[in-house]
Copies of this chain bind each other. A is one copy, B any other.
Amino acid sequence: MSAPATSASNPVFPFHLVRADLERVEAAILDQARAFDPGVEGYVSYVCKTSGKRIRPALAVLAGGATGGTHEGHTRLSVILELVHIASLVHDDIMDGAEIRRQVPTAVAKWGSSLSVLLGDSLFAYALELATEFDDTHVCRTIARASRDVCSGEILQTQRRFDLNLSVADYLKMIEMKTAALFAAASELGARLNHQSEALQRSLRDYGLKLGTAYQIYDDCLDLVGDEKAVGKTLRTDLARGKLTLPILFLLEGATDSQKQKLSRMLLKGEPMDTSILAGIADYDGAVERAVKFAQDMLVSARADLIALNATPHKQALEDIVGYLHGLLDQCRTIR
C-alpha cells in the first residue's frame, strides 16, 4: 500500500473536492426539520445540527463524482443516509447514557429517554419516507436494508455484552452491520444513481464495507487510547458497558487463563478499567497494535476495490480517505 496521503501526525479528511456538494447536503439536512410538525421541528434541528462529520454523505458524493458526476439524487441520498445515522446516534446515546456528543449535550441528556426514543423513530421514518422519492425501488430497498442492519448489529452487540466467548468473527459481523452497512450503501448507491454496472456497484459496496469496518475498529481503539478533550466525547466506556471490541478480544487471546479470569472478574464487577490497569493484565500494547494492523490491512483491501474506477480527482479522494484513516489508526499507536 502506498503511503497515506496525509502525515500520520495530522490526517485530514479529503473534503476539498466535495465542499460544494456537502454544503448543499448540509442545507438540505437542516431544511428537513421543517418537514416535521412544529412541535417536533426544534428537536429535529437540534440533533441534525450537532451530529457529525458527514462521512456518509461525503462517501456518497465522492462515489457519484467518481462515476460520472453528482446530481440532485446524490444530495437526497446523502441526506437520507445522514438522517439514518443521526437517528441511530440518538438511540445509541440513550442506551449508552451518553451525555455529550460533538461537545454538546445529547438529546437524551436534554430531553430524557422517552422523547429521544421517539425522536430517533421519527428521523428513521422520515429518512425512509425520503427514500421512497427515488423511482428506482432498489435504492430505497438498499437504504431500508442498511437501516435494519444498523439496528440488528446494535442488538447483537447489546446481546453479547460481557460475553467473553465472543469471537473475532462475531465482532466483525456486528460492526459490519452496525457501522459498515451505511458506508457500503453510500458508496454503492452513489454509483448506482449514475447507472453504473452491477460489478462496479459491487466493488464500491465492498470498498464501503471495508472502510466502515476499519473505521469502527479505529473508533474502538480510540475508546481505549484516545484523549477525551481532543475527541469531544466520553471515552473509556466500552469496557465498562461490557462491549468487547477488537483490541480487547486480541488482549484476551494473548492472555493466560489466570489473566483472563482477572479481566472477566473486573468486567463483571463493572470496575473502572483504564489503560494502566489493562496494561498490567496482559500484552495490552500488542493487542492494540494487532487491532490497528488488522484495520490497516482491511484498508489495503478497500483501496484495491477502487481499481476499476477511471482515474479522476474523485477516485483519488476515495483513495485519500483510505490514507486518512490509515493515518488516524497510526495515531492510536502513538497516543498510548
- A277-314 Cβ-contact flags toward B at 8 Å (1 or 0): 00000000000000000000000000000000000000
* Min C-beta distance of A147 to chain B, whole Å: 4
Cβ-closest chain B residue relative to A116: B117
Q: How far is the CA of A129 from the CA of B188 in the complex (A)?
A: 17
Q: How far is the CA of A131 from the CA of B91 in the complex (A)?
A: 23
Identical copies of this chain, number: 2
- Asked if A144 and B159 make an inter-chain contact with CB atoms under 8 angstroms apart, the answer reads no
A128 proximal to B (CB < 8 A):
yes
A336 proximal to B (CB < 8 A):
no
**Which 3 pairs from chain A and chain B are nearest by CB?**
A129-B144, A125-B148, A132-B141
- Residues of A at under 8 Å CB distance from B? 36-37, 39-40, 43, 87-88, 91, 94-95, 113-115, 117-122, 124-126, 128-129, 131-135, 137, 140-141, 144-145, 147-148, 150-152, 154-156, 158-159, 177
Q: How far is the CA of A129 from the CA of B148 in the complex (A)?
A: 8
Known: A132-B144, A137-B137. A155 touches B125 (CB 8 A): no
Residues of B within 8 A of A177 (CB): 37
> A144 is contacted by which of B115, B119, B128 (Cβ under 8 Å)?
B128
Cβ-closest chain B residue relative to A170: B39
Q: How far is the CA of A290 from the CA of B191 in the complex (A)?
A: 59
- Asked if A148 and B135 make an inter-chain contact with CB atoms under 8 angstroms apart, the answer reads no
Residues of B within 8 A of A134 (CB): 137
Known: A124-B121, A137-B137. A37 touches B152 (CB 8 A): yes
Known: A37-B156, A140-B140, A156-B39. A151 touches B133 (CB 8 A): no
Q: How far is the CA of A256 from the CA of B177 in the complex (A)?
A: 58
- Asked if A155 and B118 make an inter-chain contact with CB atoms under 8 angstroms apart, the answer reads yes
> A156 is contacted by which of B40, B121, B150 (Cβ under 8 Å)?
B40
- Asked if A121 and B118 make an inter-chain contact with CB atoms under 8 angstroms apart, the answer reads no
- Asked if B132 and A137 make an inter-chain contact with CB atoms under 8 angstroms apart, the answer reads yes
Residues of B within 8 A of A150 (CB): 121, 125
- Asked if A114 and B140 make an inter-chain contact with CB atoms under 8 angstroms apart, the answer reads no
Cβ-closest chain B residue relative to A156: B39
- Asked if A125 and B144 make an inter-chain contact with CB atoms under 8 angstroms apart, the answer reads yes
